[in-house]
Structures are given as structure tokens and as C-alpha cells.
């Protein structure tokens, strides 16, 4: 069989680190082991009932068997605008300031290809969501990693970025509540980001995937709530985490009209919009009752408290996240993040994600997802305790 060489753009794509983690977990499961998987980043709860009902009704509508408009139905973008007005007090023009996207990841990967040329630089958080790197590679651009350190609240320190980098920087990725650290940002940080972006003519993209998950009575804030944010960039919101629609692949970008136009343009060439039934379900989610969203947030907080308190009780001294459904935990002395992750999988049948997979500054941590039942979390803590690694 002839083997065709791939294009250069595929050869420069970063290695999918977590494909290796998934394979390790699958191998353990195939061996018949009872693995508690806390390494994944997908909700364990189903999409809410009224959202599924909206899809069932839409499936029976023959209009949805046809191509939907390239840039989505106007009433669905209106729903996105109404959602932002209701939740964040942000007013948006549905036609010029909202783009429907096939899940948050698609927008995050497409955006660098819209705004970056070879030789340009994107500023990227380290640790951070690895798929930021993919779009930058496809754009043949460079990356400058911004360390997120615990002593700085896992916020980037813009003043530490070298001047020669800033001269070539065109795009800045930020993400709060943060994956993987669980940190949140306040209005002062967003104001600092806007000032920085204006000073250096950099477009900001705020990945707001975990916008519905904040703890201790503090609701995460939108980047667009800050004055001038819309002038400096966009925010990407996904239905995956708020409404448990991860497999449905639907989200939207909001903000600066020129960036929204660029996203719409590239999607005109890559896709033919979203299936109409999915769009109707998204509108039902955004406009329908939000009580289940609040109950889900409480569920994650209970899981967080159970995990953090339980681990501290067995001697693993860890700190609680402020948002997202992840906990970012320091590994014990003497282990790399991957070595410790392998130990937990091999000896305790507990899967966690090694921090090095999120960047150089992720070393020394593991990411633990709050995406298992309280019973599973209790069992995971018990299994880890039996390893006798930690001193009470």
C-alpha cells in the first residue's frame, strides 16, 4: 500500500499528550481493572431533559433536514445575546458580535488561523489547554508561554514578557475559571489585560468554557463585563460544560466585530453551519430554566469539598480550586507529575492527568477532575490512602 506524505502543516502539530493518557487508562480497563477515571475533562452528567426534548421536536421538523444558513439561524444568535444580557449585563449585536461555532475547541483552533501570519506570536498560558497550541501551529506562527504560578494566583504577569516578543505578538489566550488550575480572575485582572492589549495592539481571546462553575458563592465574571473588552477581543462560550452538551458540539464566540467576521469567514469555507436541531436545542438551553445549572454548580462544589477535605485528611496537603470542575494538586516530593500519575493508575487504579501535559509549568502538579460521583471520589481517596505515601 502506497504511503502518502502528509503536508508540513500536519507534521508541525503538537503531540496529543492526552492520547497517551487515554491509552494507558484503556489498557488498564481492558485488563479487567476497576479504574476510577478522574483524568478526563468531560461532564459525567447528561444534558438536561428540556434540551433533549427540544432536539427531539426539531428532528421531526423537515426544515432541519436541509442545510441551515451558513452563519446560523438569527433566532439562535438572538438567544445567545439574550443569555449574555441576562447573565452578565453585556449587550451584543447578534449579527455582528456573535458567531456560532462547532464547540469551543473549533473556535479556539480556528482563531489563530484567522489572525496570525507566519512569524507572528501568540501569548499562551502555561499551564494551559493544549489545543491552543494546535491552531497556532496550523497558522505557522510562534508561541510565547506565560507562566501561571501559584504565588501569582495562576495569573500571567504581562510585565515579564520581553519587548522583542511583544513586537511580534498579535494574539493572547486567557482562560478563567482556569483549566487546569481552577483559578478565577477578577475585574482588576481583566482591566489590566485590556490596558495591556490596547498598549500592544494584541487581540484577546478569553476561553470562558467554565463560566458557569464558580465556588463559595462567587459567580465567575465575563471578560466582556469590563469596559473596553469588546474593543480588544472576544470571548468563547461553550455549551459543553454548562449544559452537559459536550458531544453535541455547539458553542459561540462573542465580542469584537472584526474578529467575529473573521471567524464567520473561515467557517464559511470549512463548514456549512450547525445542524438545525442542535441549534434549536442550544437556544432552548440558553433561554430555558437555569435551575439545573445552579444545582449542578452545587454538585461540583460538594464534590470539590469532599475531594479536598478527604485528601488533606490522609496527609496529601492540597488547596481547593475556586472554579471549573478541576482540582490542581501538588505531587509529593520525589515524583514527576507523570511518574505520580502512573503510580496512582498502576497501584490504586485511579487515573489523573499529569501536569506536564499542560506545559512546562504544569510539572509538579496533577489535574483531578470532579467528574465522578461522590461515591467514586470517596473510593479514590481510600485507594490513594492505602498507598501509604502521605504522612498524616
The count of domains in the chain is: 2
CATH number, position 370: 3.90.1150.10
Q: Are residues 21 and 128 in the same domain?
A: no
Of the residues 264, 287, 310, which one is the last residue of a structural domain? 287
Q: Are residues 303 and 174 in the same domain?
A: no
Q: Which class for 28: exposed (0-12), middle (13-18), buried (19 or more C-beta within 10 A)?
A: middle
Q: Are residues 245 and 380 in the same domain?
A: no
Q: Are residues 97 and 215 in the same domain?
A: yes
Q: Are residues 141 and 215 in the same domain?
A: yes
Classify residue 392: in a domain, yes or no.
no
Q: Are residues 311 and 224 in the same domain?
A: no
- Rounded CA-CA distance 86/145 in Å is 35
Q: Are residues 312 and 277 in the same domain?
A: no
Classify residue 278: in a domain, yes or no.
yes
Q: Are residues 223 and 336 in the same domain?
A: no
Question: What is the phi/psi pair of residue 184, to 5°?
Answer: -125, 160
- Rounded CA-CA distance 139/111 in Å is 9
Q: What per-residue confidence (pLDDT) applies to 6?
A: 86
How many CB atoms neighbour CB 379 within 10 A? 17
Contact 136, 122 (CB under 8 A): yes
CB environment 249-276: b (16+ within 10 A), e (fewer): bbbbbbbbeebbebbbebbeeeeebbbb
Classify residue 19: in a domain, yes or no.
yes
Q: What per-residue confidence (pLDDT) applies to 178?
A: 97
Q: Are residues 164 and 248 in the same domain?
A: yes
Classify residue 275: in a domain, yes or no.
yes
Q: What per-residue confidence (pLDDT) applies to 350?
A: 95
Of the residues 241, 266, 287, which one is the last residue of a structural domain? 287
Q: What per-residue confidence (pLDDT) applies to 299?
A: 97
Classify residue 55: in a domain, yes or no.
no
Classify residue 53: in a domain, yes or no.
no
Classify residue 261: in a domain, yes or no.
yes
Q: What per-residue confidence (pLDDT) applies to 287?
A: 97
Q: What is the chain's pLDDT, residue by residue, as a tens digit (392 residues)?
A: 888 888 888 888 887 777 878 888 888 888 888 899 999 888 999 999 999 999 999 999 999 989 899 899 999 999 999 999 999 999 999 999 999 999 999 999 999 999 999 999 999 999 999 999 999 999 999 999 999 999 999 999 999 999 999 999 999 999 999 999 999 999 999 999 999 999 999 999 999 999 999 999 999 999 999 999 999 999 999 999 999 999 999 999 999 999 999 999 999 999 888 999 999 999 999 999 999 999 999 999 999 999 999 999 999 999 999 999 999 999 999 999 999 999 999 999 999 999 999 999 999 999 999 999 999 999 999 999 999 888 65
Q: What per-residue confidence (pLDDT) applies to 123?
A: 98
Q: Are residues 266 and 316 in the same domain?
A: no
Residues in CB range of 276: below 8 A, 6 or more apart: 58, 61, 63, 64, 66, 68, 73
Classify residue 54: in a domain, yes or no.
no
Its domain, for residue 105, covers 65-287
- Rounded CA-CA distance 226/53 in Å is 36
Question: What is the phi/psi pair of residue 105, to 5°?
Answer: -60, -40
Q: Are residues 123 and 18 in the same domain?
A: no
CATH number, position 226: 3.40.640.10
Q: Are residues 77 and 162 in the same domain?
A: yes
CB environment 78-95: b (16+ within 10 A), e (fewer): bbbbebbeebbebebebe
Of the residues 270, 287, 304, which one is the last residue of a structural domain? 287
Amino acid at each position: 500500500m502506497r504511503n502518502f506524505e502528509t503536508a508540513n502543516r500536519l507534521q508541525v502539530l503538537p503531540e496529543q499528550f492526552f492520547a497517551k493518557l487515554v491509552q494507558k487508562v484503556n489498557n488498564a480497563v481492558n485488563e479487567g481493572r476497576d479504574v476510577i477515571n478522574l483524568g478526563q475533562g468531560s461532564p459525567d452528567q447528561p444534558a438536561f431533559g428540556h434540551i433533549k426534548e427540544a432536539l427531539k421536536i426539531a428532528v421531526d421538523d423537515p426544515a432541519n433536514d436541509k442545510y441551515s444558513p451558513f452563519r446560523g439561524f438569527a433566532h439562535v444568535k438572538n438567544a445567545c445575546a439574550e443569555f449574555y444580557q441576562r447573565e452578565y449585563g453585556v449587550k451584543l449585536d447578534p449579527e455582528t458580535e456573535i458567531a456560532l461555532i462547532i464547540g469551543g475547541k473549533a473556535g479556539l483552533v480556528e482563531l489563530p488561523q484567522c489572525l496570525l501570519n507566519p512569524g507572528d506570536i501568540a501569548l499562551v498560558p502555561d499551564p494551559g489547554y493544549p489545543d491552543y497550541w494546535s491552531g497556532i501551529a496550523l497558522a505557522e506562527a510562534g508561541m510565547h508561554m506565560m507562566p501561571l504560578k501559584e504565588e501569582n494566583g495562576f495569573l500571567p504577569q504581562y510585565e515579564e514578557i520581553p519587548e522583542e516578543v511583544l513586537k511580534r505578538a498579535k494574539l493572547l489566550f486567557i482562560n478563567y475559571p482556569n483549566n487546569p488550575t481552577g483559578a478565577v480572575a477578577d475585574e482588576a485582572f481583566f482591566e489590566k489585560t485590556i490596558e495591556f492589549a490596547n498598549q500592544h495592539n494584541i487581540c484577546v481571546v478569553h476561553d470562558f468554557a467554565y463560566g458557569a462553575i464558580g465556588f463559595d458563592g462567587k459567580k465567575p465574571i465575563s471578560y466582556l463585563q469590563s469596559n473596553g473588552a469588546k474593543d480588544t477581543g472576544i470571548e468563547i462560550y461553550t455549551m459543553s460544560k454548562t449544559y452537559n452538551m459536550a458531544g453535541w458540539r455547539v458553542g459561540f464566540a462573542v465580542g469584537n466585530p472584526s474578529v467575529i467576521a473573521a471567524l464567520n469567514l473561515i467557517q464559511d469555507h470549512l463548514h456549512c453551519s450547525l445542524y438545525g436541531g442542535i441549534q434549536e436545542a442550544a437556544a432552548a438551553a440558553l433561554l430555558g430554566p437555569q435551575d439545573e445549572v445552579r444545582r449542578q454548580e452545587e454538585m461540583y462544589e460538594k464534590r470539590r469539598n469532599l475531594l479536598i477535605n478527604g485528601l488533606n485528611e490522609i496527609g496529601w496537603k492540597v488547596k481547593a480550586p475556586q472554579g471549573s470542575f478541576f482540582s490542581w494538586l501538588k505531587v509529593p516530593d520525589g515524583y514527576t507529575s507523570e511518574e505520580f500519575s502512573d503510580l496512582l493508575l498502576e497501584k490504586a487504579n485511579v487515573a489523573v492527568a499529569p501536569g506536564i501535559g499542560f506545559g512546562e509549568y504544569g510539572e509538579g502538579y496533577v489535574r483531578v477532575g470532579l467528574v465522578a460521583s461522590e461515591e467514586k471520589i470517596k473510593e479514590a481517596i481510600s485507594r490513594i490512602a492505602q498507598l501509604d505515601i502521605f504522612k498524616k
